[in-house]
């Protein structure tokens, strides 16, 4: 039986990111992926939000994505929300289709030499006290210490683990198709009593290559859609189907909103769409899946290495479940704001007026972009549990951007006070110590200026685990809680 420390079911965005994180930490990880190649039919996700781009920047790979896409200084919550005054190097959304995002992630994972069992499907598993036997189609099982379900919304892993998936059934469904038309269509969106419909040009397509998104009159969820379904809805909305033909992708999505009740069952964990599904409004699903992976990766690596106890894995659910719950809520709100009846329109107009004000705009833009994420790591300095800003640090080696210190996915204690103030030698095998100066302002998105810390302990995912304020109170507890007990000489 082949063996890996960690097996990931599914090599979509969440699975690829998690594999990269584990490989960086030196863990023997493999992906099992049903698709024979990384190719995706259809464009699916259209971009990356600020926090996801920052996360990729923390690993030194953001430019690979930025050079392939187009940036826009807004996020959408019902209306476009300006991001350009946010204190981040990436105060924009990157427009880039999922096909490209997956291709670039797969390239990075390939450089890290992660094996991918392609054209194979995980069909089930059996876990015992020491590991998991992962059953595959067309071959024998693989033994792993941990199995991670990154296998999408219909996750076999979630179902086989018996993890409940409570939430809301679909109230609206949309048809989406990429195809050719015979005559020039009405470009742009149209609103009617059924809902909103849109006809756009395909990315790098032919002059009459279209991408249509059509609201269906009645919710359809089960049956696979056909070209005939698309044609019928086009006729109903536009009085013509524009001679639509030669589809390359026809699919349906809904506003079903569900979330796994638990992200972990002993040695089996879930990430990405396997843990949460919702309408694609606001373009958040892929983004939070990648961020799940970055939250989980370093924790799992430490547990596999024996540096931290298994209980560290419970912080993954504690931190990430509330984030996806907010996303479910904001997608449900956005779908409701799109309803075509007069009362919903009145509500939507009121929300539009509110979002023209600075404070609501900043709050929601911070939430939608992921820059406002705040893990509950206790009370204290506003940086605690929030993303460490990418400040320019002056060090003995010259000026360095903070994010470059996270390229290897190792935690770092940045001492901004007297050099030699800290002794972290009992954690030296796990935690970097950097002495630095920073004389600029400390500013957080939607919060504004905060007082300068004298030291910060930053986890590999870029979130601040401890803040020093002239005293060292709580530092060894934080180091132990996040990175394991001190090594004795």
Ligand X SMILES: Cc1cc2nc3c(=O)[nH]c(=O)nc-3n(C[C@H](O)[C@H](O)[C@H](O)COP(=O)(O)OP(=O)(O)OC[C@H]3O[C@@H](n4cnc5c(N)ncnc54)[C@H](O)[C@@H]3O)c2cc1C
List contacts with ligand X (CB under 6 A). 9-15, 32-35, 44-47, 98, 121-122, 150-152, 156, 176, 253, 272-273, 280, 283-287, 289
Shortest Å, Cβ 186 to ligand X: 21
Tokens representing 72 are 């826009």
Shortest Å, Cβ 325 to ligand X: 16
Shortest Å, Cβ 181 to ligand X: 19
Q: Which is nearer to ligand X, 141 or 272 (CB)?
A: 272
Q: Are 210 and 230 in contact (CB under 8 A)?
A: no
Q: Which is nearer to ligand X, 9 or 337 (CB)?
A: 9
Shortest Å, Cβ 117 to ligand X: 9
Give backbone dihedrals phi and psi of 214, rounded to 5 degrees, phi first: -125, 130
Q: Which is nearer to ligand X, 157 or 313 (CB)?
A: 157
What order do you get walking across the sheet with 257-259 strand by strand? 167-168, 257-259, 276-277
Shortest Å, Cβ 204 to ligand X: 17
Shortest Å, Cβ 129 to ligand X: 25
Shortest Å, Cβ 52 to ligand X: 8
Give backbone dihedrals phi and psi of 454, rounded to 5 degrees, phi first: -95, -15
Q: Which is nearer to ligand X, 119 or 309 (CB)?
A: 119
Shortest Å, Cβ 103 to ligand X: 13
Instruction: Specify burial of residue 395 (Cβ count, 10 A radius: 0-12, 13-18, 19+).
Output: middle
Q: Which is nearer to ligand X, 273 or 319 (CB)?
A: 273
Residue for token digits 């990356």? 48
DSSP states along 318-353: HHHHHHHHHHHHHHHHHHHHT--SHHHHHHHHHHHH
> What's the rounded Cα separation, in Å, for the pair 161 and 261?
12
Helices then strands, counting H and E runs in the chain, come out as: 11, 29
DSSP state for residue 312 in the 8-state scheme: G
Q: Which is nearer to ligand X, 150 or 478 (CB)?
A: 150
DSSP states along 21-65: HHHHTT--EEEEESSSSS--SS----EE-HHHHHHHHHTT-HHHH
Q: Which is nearer to ligand X, 151 or 390 (CB)?
A: 151
Helix, strand, or coil here: 243?
coil
Q: Which is nearer to ligand X, 101 or 414 (CB)?
A: 101
CA torsion angle for 344, 346, 348, 354 (degrees, to 10)? -150
């Amino acid at each position: 039986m082949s063996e890996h420390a960690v097996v990931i079911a599914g090599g979509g965005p969440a699975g690829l990111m998690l594999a990269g994180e584990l490989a960086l930490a030196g863990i023997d990880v493999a992906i099992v992926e049903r698709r024979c190649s990384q190719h995706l039919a259809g464009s699916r996700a259209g971009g990356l939000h600020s926090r996801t781009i920052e996360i990729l920047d923390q690993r030194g790979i953001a430019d690979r994505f930025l050079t392939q896409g187009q940036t826009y200084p807004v996020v959408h919550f019902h209306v476009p929300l300006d991001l350009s005054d946010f204190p981040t190097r990436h105060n924009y959304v990157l427009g880039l289709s999922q096909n490209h995002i997956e291709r670039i992630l797969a390239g990075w994972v390939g450089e890290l030499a992660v094996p991918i069992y392609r054209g194979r499907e995980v069909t089930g598993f059996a876990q015992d006290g020491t590991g998991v036997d992962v059953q595959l189609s067309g071959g024998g099982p693989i033994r792993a210490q941990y199995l991670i379900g990154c296998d999408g919304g219909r996750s076999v892993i979630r179902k086989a683990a018996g993890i409940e998936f409570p939430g809301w059934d679909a109230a609206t469904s949309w048809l989406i198709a990429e195809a050719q038309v015979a005559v020039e269509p009405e470009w742009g969106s149209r609103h009617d009593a059924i809902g909103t419909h849109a006809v756009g040009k395909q990315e790098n397509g032919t002059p009459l290559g279209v991408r249509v998104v059509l609201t269906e009159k009645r919710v359809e969820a089960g049956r696979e859609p056909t070209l005939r379904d698309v044609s019928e809805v086009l006729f109903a909305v536009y009085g013509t189907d524009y001679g639509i033909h030669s589809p390359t992708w026809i699919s349906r999505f809904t506003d079903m909103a569900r979330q796994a009740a638990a992200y972990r069952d002993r040695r089996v964990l879930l990430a990405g769409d396997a843990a949460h599904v919702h309408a694609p409004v606001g373009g958040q699903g892929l983004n939070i899946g990648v961020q799940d992976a970055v939250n989980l990766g370093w924790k799992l690596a430490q547990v596999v290495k024996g540096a931290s106890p298994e209980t560290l894995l419970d912080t993954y659910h504690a931190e990430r479940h509330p984030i996806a719950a907010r996303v479910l809520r904001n997608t449900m709100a956005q779908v409701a704001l799109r309803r075509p009846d007069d009362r919903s329109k009145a509500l939507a107009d009121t929300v539009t007026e509110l979002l023209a004000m600075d404070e609501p705009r900043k709050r929601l833009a911070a939430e939608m972009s992921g820059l406002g994420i705040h893990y509950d790591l206790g009370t204290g300095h506003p940086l605690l549990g929030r993303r460490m800003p990418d400040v320019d640090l002056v060090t003995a080696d010259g000026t360095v951007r903070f994010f470059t210190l996270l390229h290897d996915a190792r935690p770092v204690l940045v001492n901004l006070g007297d050099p030699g103030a800290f002794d972290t030698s009992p954690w030296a095998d796990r935690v970097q110590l950097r002495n630095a100066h920073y004389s600029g302002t400390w500013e957080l998105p939607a919060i504004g200026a905060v007082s300068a810390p004298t030291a910060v302990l930053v986890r590999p995912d870029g979130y601040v685990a401890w803040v020093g304020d002239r005293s060292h109170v709580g530092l060894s507890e934080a180091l132990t809680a996040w990175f394991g007990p001190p090594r004795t000489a």
